[in-house]
Amino acid sequence: MNGFVDYLNSTNNVGGNSTGSLAETQVKSSYFDMVKIDRKLGQNIANTIKTNNYKSFILTGHAGDGKTSVLVQVLKNLKLLRDGEGLVQKKEYDDFFYVKDMSEIAEQEQEKVLKQALEAPKNGKSSLLISNTGPLLNTFLRLAEYNRRVNLLAFDDKEKMEVRSKLLIQLDTNSDEMMNLEGFEFYLVNIARVDNVNFSKDLLQKILSDQLWNECQSCSCKDRCPIKNNVDSVKAQLDRVASFVKSYYRYLYENDKRMTIRQMVGQIAYAVTGNLTCQQISSHYLKEPFFNYNFANLFFGYNGLNEALYSPQIKGIAQINLLGLDRISLDVDYRLFVNHDYSFFTSNIADILDSLRKKHRKHYQVVEKEQALSVAEQSKEAKMRQAIRRFYLVYSADQKEEDVFNQIFGHFYTLYEKLVSSKQPQSVLRKIQALLFQALYIKNTGFLPNHTNDLPLTLRRENDVFQNVMLVLGVVSKMDLDIRQKQVNNCFEDFETKQVLYLHVKDEDFVLTLPMLTYFENMVQGAIVSENNPALTHGIAKLDALLLDKFGDDLPESKDDCILRILINTTRGQVIRCYAFNGSKLSFMP
């Protein structure tokens, strides 16, 4: 029996035992150190203590983001936490003070704890205080109000709003600069804003580490164990599996569906074990175990052809089902479903798929016409195709990996991934500039630009019905749409090569996201988009406002000075004509 299997099963919320998903329980487990992810932030905090450069750190974020794990990393780095030892609510050492979770402390004690953490550097200590965002904001305001009252200073609603606003701006931008607020100097880190996508491969590698599966080599059930088969199959195609998993999490991250580390661990662990135990495998006959409980099926929340019971309780599985990645037609479909070509796979996976095809193969009698498949048969055929696509997405050794990911995540996905992970040549940035210009031209006029480098900013209806005549509020030159990359220099980020893609407009930067590039590409290609996510629509509105602010026409001082620019759609393209008010008359200006 392998105890690590039980540990993995306890890290998701599908079964009855999800205690392993709690950081407090994980710390005591002998497997925690083997699978935990060390963060750059934890190393930086430990270094400040070792070098007597005492600082105060406040850490907030979502549940499962790894806040407690950062604390554990610091304590173990300083050799202040023994193996199997748990955490207490708060603890003070000679040079370090920590609060495991201020949200769990009684409200009347929270101000005292926060003040102790903020004043730790003055007392020759570093401090790390962890808290949920709401209690942190409220407690800081109460502490600030108390200090003002002691010093006989006013603290009205406007000043309260300013303090709250400064804290919220920091939580949003996650700058690595020290804050100086209300007489306190401290670092405020919103770990929910730290990019954790690249950790997915590290998690896979740690979970598949040989030392964790040595017991399985001598198990009497190893030849029929789906868990061991998953470990072996994923190891054989680790780069491809890790690439797909990371791309999926990157897509969620860029679309405001960020996965916490705990959620990643839960989905990956479930995909390895399917919540099966060693006892169940040894005492029960499992039907088609290497297909039904395969990593490729389980990662999508399926047992074979059917959705696994309760699997959508795992966020990653619920999201992947909403996206319907296994229902998207691929260029390789003909080879997979008509030619039954499984040469993309290792021999082990190819044998599983070939056995599946032979088992479910149907012979249809042909009379005068080929008889149509029944509804049930059509449904089963569709489910089989989805299953084969799942195996292809996860395991395929196809060299056209970028093409495949672009088909399921959007035409510009792999290019965007390169843009945010490494410096790209100017030719690539010009490609984005051309896309942006074309898309905005279509958005503002309803037509593609016809040999023009001027983008009119028009006043038009919001129902996507373009008039033949529209008021021009300003004009932007294509050369003013400057696409740039900027490396993220933040000591809290775990990946030093991360880049930000943005549009530089005069003296202001506007961040470009994957949903925006996908939206622009769909617009240029003439695709109809029925719904947009709120982050995208908000971003497009901000871009429109920015361009109008920087390039919009100045308002005239009086009606007599008013000159109107009108865009007119003609059979030869768009023309802009100017009209002026002369008294009460409107006249054309050639």
The secondary structure of 525-553 as a DSSP string is HT-------HHHHHHHHHHHHHHHHHHBP
pLDDT of residue 377: 65
pLDDT of residue 25: 64
Among residues 186, 201, 76, which one has the least CA distance to residue 136? 186
Among residues 252, 294, 228, 206, which one has the least CA distance to residue 11? 206
SS3 273: helix
Q: How many CB atoms lie within 10 A of CB 558?
A: 7
Residue given tokens 């580390």 in the structure block:
261
pLDDT of residue 362: 56
pLDDT of residue 30: 79
Q: What stretches in the chain show pLDDT beneath 50?
A: 363-370, 558-560
How far apart, in whole angstroms, are the C-alpha atoms of residue 276 and residue 216? 14
412-435, pLDDT tens digit by residue? Answer: 999 999 999 999 999 999 999 999
pLDDT of residue 367: 42
pTM listed for this prediction:
0.89
Question: Dihedral of the CA atoms 331, 337, 339, 345 (nearest 10)?
Answer: 80
SS3 579: strand
Among residues 322, 271, 275, which one has the least CA distance to residue 296? 271
62-84, pLDDT tens digit by residue? Answer: 887 889 889 999 999 999 988 77
